[in-house]
């Protein structure tokens, strides 16, 4: 079946899987508001489904999701303005949310698996610790690749931007939802 014969959702899913595997980049994503909205919606939907399966009910999935989406949309808009590449915003933001859509089930499965363990460094099994580190490194590598492709900045700068984005998001969650943030 040719790429044009596949349904749009399947084409998008395959594209973001390839981006997550570092085979393609954000430049391959459609540059349309409709596509960005569909990727944000898909990410929100899968995130809420995954959150529904997690045993930890201490967080507020809607609040956490709203902060995550708002911070990401604004963060990448500012980054691309600073890089003087605002025309790449739709593709970059679509790639960010498309990859998060692809990774959400895997991250949820990892969280579900770890929920049965005491999450202290001493009690976590070596395999579980390795899985957490591998998922974190892989996610940073993918997001840094997206930012690198969009901005054409050095990889180390892009890694720093991805880490700064994560730190900002965590700080905003703590500031805006202190009683809802996971312990």
Q: pLDDT tens digit string along 125-147?
A: 777 778 888 999 999 999 999 99
Number of other residues whose CB lies within 10 A of the CB of residue 144? 20
pLDDT value at 122 more than 70: no
Which one has a higher pLDDT value, 142 or 105?
A: 142
pLDDT tens digits along 68-104: 999 999 999 999 999 999 999 999 999 999 999 999 9
Task: Please tell me the distance from the alpha carbon of residue 153 to that of residue 167, in angstroms, as a whole number.
Answer: 20
Quickly tell me which residue has 């691309």 as its tokens.
80
CA separation, residue 30 to residues 3, 16, 35, 114, 146 (Å): 14, 12, 7, 36, 14
Alpha helices in 29-179 (DSSP H): 33-53, 61-82, 89-115, 126-151, 155-176
Q: Any idea which residue has 């929920």 for tokens?
A: 115
The pLDDT of residue 9: 78
Name which residue leads in pLDDT, 114 or 75. Answer: 75
Please enumerate in sequence order all residues whose Cβ is within 8 A of that of 95, keeping only pairs 6 or more positions apart, or say none. Answer: 16, 19, 25, 26, 29, 146
Angle subtended by helix axes 89-115 and 61-82, to nearest 10: 140
Contact 35, 90 (CB under 8 A): yes
Phi, psi of 106 (to 5 degrees): -65, -45
Which pLDDT band, with edges at 50, 70 and 90, does 66 fall under?
Answer: very high
What is the spatial distance between Cα 162 and Cα 27, in angstroms, rounded to a whole number?
18
User: pTM to 2 decimals?
Assistant: 0.88
Token pair listed for 169: 């998001």
């Amino acid at each position: 079946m040719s790429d044009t014969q596949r349904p749009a959702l399947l084409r998008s899913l395959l594209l973001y899987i390839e981006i997550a595997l570092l085979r393609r980049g954000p430049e391959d994503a459609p540059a349309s508001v409709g596509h960005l909205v569909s990727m944000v919606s898909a990410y929100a939907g899968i995130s809420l489904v995954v959150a529904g399966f997690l045993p930890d009910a201490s967080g507020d999935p809607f609040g956490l999701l709203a902060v995550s989406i708002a911070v990401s949309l604004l963060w990448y808009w500012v980054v691309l303005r600073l890089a003087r590449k605002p025309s790449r915003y739709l593709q970059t933001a679509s790639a960010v949310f498309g990859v998060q859509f692809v990774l959400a089930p895997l991250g949820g499965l990892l969280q579900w698996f770890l929920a049965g363990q005491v999450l202290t460094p001493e009690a976590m099994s070596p395999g579980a610790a390795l899985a957490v580190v591998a998922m974190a490194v892989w996610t940073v590598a993918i997001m840094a690749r997206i930012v690198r492709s969009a901005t054409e900045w050095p990889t180390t700068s892009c890694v720093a931007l991805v880490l700064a984005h994560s730190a900002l998001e965590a700080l905003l969650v703590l500031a805006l939802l202190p009683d809802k943030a996971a312990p």
